[in-house]
Amino acid sequence: MNDPNEALVNAKTAADRITKTRRLNACLTPPKELRASLVQQAAMAHPSGVLYGMPVAVKDNICTLEFTTTCGSRILEGYRSPYEATAVARLKTAGALIAGKTNCDEFAMGSSTEHSAYGRAVHPHDKTRVPGGSSGGSAALVAAGVVPAALGSETGGSVRQPASFCGIVGIKPTYGRVSRYGLVAFGSSLDQIGVFGRSVHDAARVLSVISGRDARDATCEDRDPLRLPTVPESLQGFVIGVPREYFPSDLDPAVRRACDRAIRMMRDLGAAVREVSLPHTAYAVPTYYIIAPAEASSNLARYDGARYGPRFNGSSDVRALYRETRGQGFGPEVRRRILVGTYVLSSGYYDAYYRKAQQMRALIAQDFRNVFDRGVDLLFTPTTPTPAFKAGEKVTDPVAMYLSDIFTVTANLAGLPALSLPIGRIKGLPIGGQLIGQAFLEDEMLEAAYALERVVPAAGEV
């Protein structure tokens, strides 16, 4: 049994730290409201829970009863969900404290947390840079030491990319490992709730609690919760594949050096390392940017000023209500993606775009199967092509922004588990390395991450 006062102490500490780090604009919940809720939650948390007293921040596209759920959008300003996500309910049952809602790109569409209606989130180590996105607020809070863990969501890398930029661990589970009930839908065939942690163990503990079957989500597999592996002494017996397509000639030299060092260390730990090929990797980003906007244009049709959130004029006619509410309630990136998604699904273009993208997605998934079928256990790659970029650098160039997801979108398209962990720094900016595992073999991926984490100088310059 845990110390019954621990939750209250942790609640007050988390509330103090969130107040002190307001400059990050990472938490959307007002400090007073957050403090009151945390104290109340601490009083109700059960000391026998495996996460008793652990403050866990939650991305603002995951439904909670304690706080508003705005998805970083004006169209849901002030919205309170009448139910909570399965992942959130499981955290509370395990004794965790929901430590506020975190800033994100609107409806999780973005890679920098600059596309939030509530202002951009700031990188915790360099205020001129972005924390990544779309779950940038969650990543910034964990990296700043405000909370030990946070929930984010992944559609194309929105946990791993900010984890890499902020120097923490980010895990995207297999599609179907964690219930999506209460995760606001963006791209339903891609979306997954993911986890941030200061360490592999912190993130894995939270993932274990939120995973497992859920009758409320038909895409959630009928499996037991993830069992945590032990920390291995070595990587003897592991075969690590290094896909050549993830190390292009224009890769940032510091990222390459950090990855080379991590690969050497895995070899020193006893792993066999093989170069492999995933030949359709170059088509992953264009595939993603057809499928995700297409699904988004359908999922976001429900925001029309009739059922949720505020209305924006348009009182003369119901269609004017829809058009004006959506036109004014959605920000520029969401509007752009809805238009692109509507375009690729429209009559005459469906075969040219959407069907092609679905076929390419199958080829990308087959690439992974081919490699795993030849005895490779895990893949190791950089998480991002560069460290965190400057705020404003890519915000007006959508395609440049999309390319920052180039090493992460493949795991979403193939439905595979993947994680990012810090493997070094360049001029103080963190660099992340990515492990991609086989479907539902998160335990193997976590074993390798535990081993690498123990030896890699994550805070050291490369």
Among residue numbers 258 through 287, which ones bind another protein (CB under 8 A)?
A: 280, 283, 286-287
Is there binding between residue 314 and another protein (CB under 8 A)? yes
Q: From the list 26, 57, 340, 418, which residue makes contact with another protein (rule: CB under 8 A)?
A: 340
Span interacting with another protein, options 93-101, 109-117, 121-129, 309-317, rule CB under 8 A: 309-317
Task: Tell me how far, at minimum, the Cβ of 317 lies from another protein, in Å.
Answer: 4
Contacts of 241 (CB under 8 A, 6+ apart): 273, 274, 275, 276, 371, 376, 378, 379, 380
| First-to-last C-alpha distance (Å) of the chain | 43
**Residues in 24-83 at the binding interface with another protein, rule: CB under 8 A:** 65, 79-83
Task: Tell me how far, at minimum, the Cβ of 337 lies from another protein, in Å.
Answer: 9
| Residue closest to 456 by CA, chosen among 257, 249, 313, 250 | 257
Q: From the list 365, 395, 426, 441, which residue makes contact with another protein (rule: CB under 8 A)?
A: 365
Is there binding between residue 310 and another protein (CB under 8 A)? yes
* Structure tokens, 76: 């849901």
Task: Tell me how far, at minimum, the Cβ of 126 lies from another protein, in Å.
Answer: 28
Which C-beta is closer to another protein: that of 82 or that of 427? 82
Is there binding between residue 358 and another protein (CB under 8 A)? yes
Confirm whether 59 is a catalytic residue: yes
Do residues 168 and 422 lie in contact, with contact meaning Cβ atoms separated by under 8 Å? Answer: yes
In whole angstroms, what is the distance from residue 261 CA to residue 264 CA? 5
Do residues 253 and 148 lie in contact, with contact meaning Cβ atoms separated by under 8 Å? Answer: no
Do residues 291 and 188 lie in contact, with contact meaning Cβ atoms separated by under 8 Å? Answer: no
Q: From the list 12, 257, 261, 335, which residue makes contact with another protein (rule: CB under 8 A)?
A: 335
Task: Tell me how far, at minimum, the Cβ of 186 lies from another protein, in Å.
Answer: 15
Q: From the list 17, 46, 274, 356, which residue makes contact with another protein (rule: CB under 8 A)?
A: 356
Task: Tell me how far, at minimum, the Cβ of 291 lies from another protein, in Å.
Answer: 10
| Residue closest to 147 by CA, chosen among 138, 135, 136 | 138
Confirm whether 427 is a catalytic residue: no
- Residue identified by tokens 């999506």 is 180
Confirm whether 211 is a catalytic residue: no
**Residues in 79-108 at the binding interface with another protein, rule: CB under 8 A:** 79-83
Among the listed residues 158, 179, 211, 404, the single catalytic one is: 158
Site string for another protein, 142-181 (x = CB under 8 A): ---------------------------------xx-----
Is there binding between residue 369 and another protein (CB under 8 A)? no
* Structure tokens, 26: 């990472």
Is there binding between residue 398 and another protein (CB under 8 A)? yes
**Residues in 220-259 at the binding interface with another protein, rule: CB under 8 A:** 221-222
Among the listed residues 37, 59, 179, 404, the single catalytic one is: 59
* Structure tokens, 371: 């490699």
Q: From the list 9, 36, 44, 362, which residue makes contact with another protein (rule: CB under 8 A)?
A: 362
Is there binding between residue 304 and another protein (CB under 8 A)? yes
Which C-beta is closer to another protein: that of 54 or that of 413? 413
Q: From the list 139, 276, 413, 462, which residue makes contact with another protein (rule: CB under 8 A)?
A: 413
Among the listed residues 73, 111, 134, 138, the single catalytic one is: 134
- Residue identified by tokens 């050291």 is 460
Q: From the list 57, 88, 357, 406, which residue makes contact with another protein (rule: CB under 8 A)?
A: 357
Q: Which residues form the catalytic set? A: 59, 134, 158
